[in-house]
């Protein structure tokens, strides 16, 4: 699965941190061009939970990016 995220809103550190936290469940490769392009592969043992894992993964990136942005604006 490939997902594109806006690099002006999502932070690289959030993507890296959450990818590391979820490394038991999925593998993530990402590139930065006009957008963060995330290529995600769910580990076979967790395929039945893929929608929940992906939703939680993306929600955590959003939450951490918001925290990063708020912290940097202080």
Per-residue confidence band for 62, with pLDDT thresholds at 50, 70 and 90: very high
H/E element holding 67? helix 50-73
Helix axes 12-21, 50-73, angle to 10 degrees: 140
**pLDDT single digits (tens) 10-55:** 999 999 999 999 999 999 998 888 888 999 999 999 999 999 999 9
State the Cα–Cα distance between residues 9 and 66, nearest whole angstrom.
8
Sheet holding 2-5, edge to edge: 2-5, 36-42, 26-32
Number of domains in the chain: 1
Which domain does 11 fall in, by range? 2-73
Given this model, what pLDDT does residue 74 score? 63
């Amino acid at each position: 699965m490939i997902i594109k995220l806006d690099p002006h809103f999502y932070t690289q550190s959030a993507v890296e941190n959450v990818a590391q936290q979820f490394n038991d469940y999925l593998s993530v490769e990402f590139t930065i061009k006009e957008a963060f392009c995330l290529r995600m592969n769910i580990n076979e043992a967790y395929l039945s939970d893929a929608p929940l894992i992906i939703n939680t993964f993306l929600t955590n990136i959003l939450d951490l990016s918001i925290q990063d942005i708020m912290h940097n604006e202080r």
